[in-house]
Structure 1
Amino acid sequence: MPYVIAGLVLVGAVAVLNLVLLMVVLRRWQELEAVRRRADFAAQGPQPGDGLPDFTATALSGRTLTQDDFRSGELLLGVFSHDCPSCTDALPDFAARADRARAAGGRVLALVIGAEAGESSLTARLVGPADEVVPGPEAAPLFGALRVPAFPTILSYRDGVVAAPSAADREPVPAAS
C-alpha cells in the first residue's frame, strides 16, 4: 500500500509540474504573438524613407495646412482615433516626445480620426502637446494617404521623409481602411 500512495503522489506531482510548465509556455506564446502582431502592423504602414504625402487640411486653429508646411525640419506626427483606449494611454508618451521634438526645433501635428473626433476629449487633450490638431473628416485624406495600419501611430519626419515609425508598446488597435 505505501508504494501505491507514493506512486500516486509522484504522478500527482508530475501532473502539477506539467500543468505549470504548460501555463508558462502558453503565456510566453501569447507575448510572442503580440510582438509579432505589432511588427506586422508596423510593416504595413509608412516606412523610413517614405515621403510625406500631398495633403490639405484645416486644423482646429482654423489654419489651412499643406504638406509644404512640413517639408523642411523635424515633424512629429501622431495619428489617433477618438475612441481608442490605447490612444489615450499613449498621450503621456506622445506629449514627452512632442516636448523633445519642439526643443530640437521641430513641429508637432496630431490627426484624430473618427466622426466625433472634433468633440472628443482626446482631441481636447492633444491641443496642448501638438502645435496643430486636425480632427475627423478633415484628417481623412491624410490618414488614407499615410496607410496607417493601427492606432496610435507616431511618425518622425525629417525634411518631409519618415525618419522613424513608432511601434506601439501596447496592443495596436487596427485602423479601418
Structure 2
Amino acid sequence: MPYVITGLVLVAAVAALNTVLLVVILRRWQELEAVRRRDGFAGQGPQPGDRLPEFTSTAVSGRTLSESDLRSGELLLGVFSHDCPSCTDSLPDFAEQAGRARAAGGRAVALVMGEEAGDSALTGQLDGIADEIVVHPEAAPLFRALQVPAFPTILRYRDGVVTAPFAADREPVPAAS
C-alpha cells in the first residue's frame, strides 16, 4: 500500500509540474506572438525617410491643417481609434513624446478614427495632450494617405520627413481603411 500512495503522490507531482510548465510556455508563446505581430506592423506603413503626404483637414478647434503647415520643425503625429484599448493605454507615452516635441519647438497632432470619434472619451483625453485633434471623417484622407497598419501608430517627423515610428509597448490593433 505505501508504494501505491508514493506512486500516486509522484504522479500528482509530475502532473502539477507539467501544468506549471505548460502555463509558463503558453504565456511566453503569447508574448512572443505579440512581439512578432508588433514587429510585423512596424515594417508596414510610414518608414523613416518617408515624407508627410499632402492633405487638408479641419481640426476639432476649427483650424484647417495641411501638410504645408506641419512640414517645418518637429511633429509628433498619433493615429488612434476611438474604441481601441491599446490606444487609451498608449496615451501616457504619447503625452511624454508630445512634451518632447513641444520642448523642441514642435507640435503634436492626433488623428482619431471611427464613426463616434468626435464624442469619444479618447478624444476628450487627447484634448490636453495634442495641439490639434482631427477626428473621423476629417481625418480619413490623411489616414488613408499614411497607410497606417495598426492602432496606435505614433510617428515623429522632422521637417516633413519621418524620423522614426514610435513603438509603444502595446498590443497593436489592425487598422482597416
Q: TM-score, normalised by structure 1?
A: 0.93
Taking the TM superposition and a 5 Å limit, the aligned residue runs for 1:96-107 are 96-107=96-107
Letter in structure 1 aligned against 2:89: D
- Contact kept, 8 Å, 1:76 with 1:154, in 2: the verdict is yes
Name the residue aligned to 2:110.
110
Which runs of no fewer than 5 residues in structure 1 stay unpaired? none
Tell me how far apart the structure 2 counterparts of residues 117 and 110 of structure 1 sit (CA, whole Å): 12
Name the residue aligned to 1:132.
132
Tell me how far apart the structure 2 counterparts of residues 44 and 27 of structure 1 sit (CA, whole Å): 26
Which ranges of 4 or more aligned residues in structure 1 deviate by more than 4 Å?
none
Q: Note the C-alpha offset of 1:115.
A: 1.8
Tell me how far apart the structure 2 counterparts of residues 8 and 88 of structure 1 sit (CA, whole Å): 50
Q: Note the C-alpha offset of 1:119.
A: 2.2
Letter in structure 1 aligned against 2:21: L
SS in 2 for 1:9: helix
SS in 2 for 1:137: coil
Taking the TM superposition and a 5 Å limit, the aligned residue runs for 1:18-29 are 18-29=18-29
SS in 2 for 1:138: coil
SS in 2 for 1:122: helix
**Greater CA deviation, 117-126 or 32-41?**
117-126
Name the residue aligned to 2:171.
171
Q: TM-score, normalised by structure 2?
A: 0.93
RMSD after superposition:
1.4
Which runs of no fewer than 5 residues in structure 2 stay unpaired? none
**Greater CA deviation, 90-99 or 26-35?**
90-99
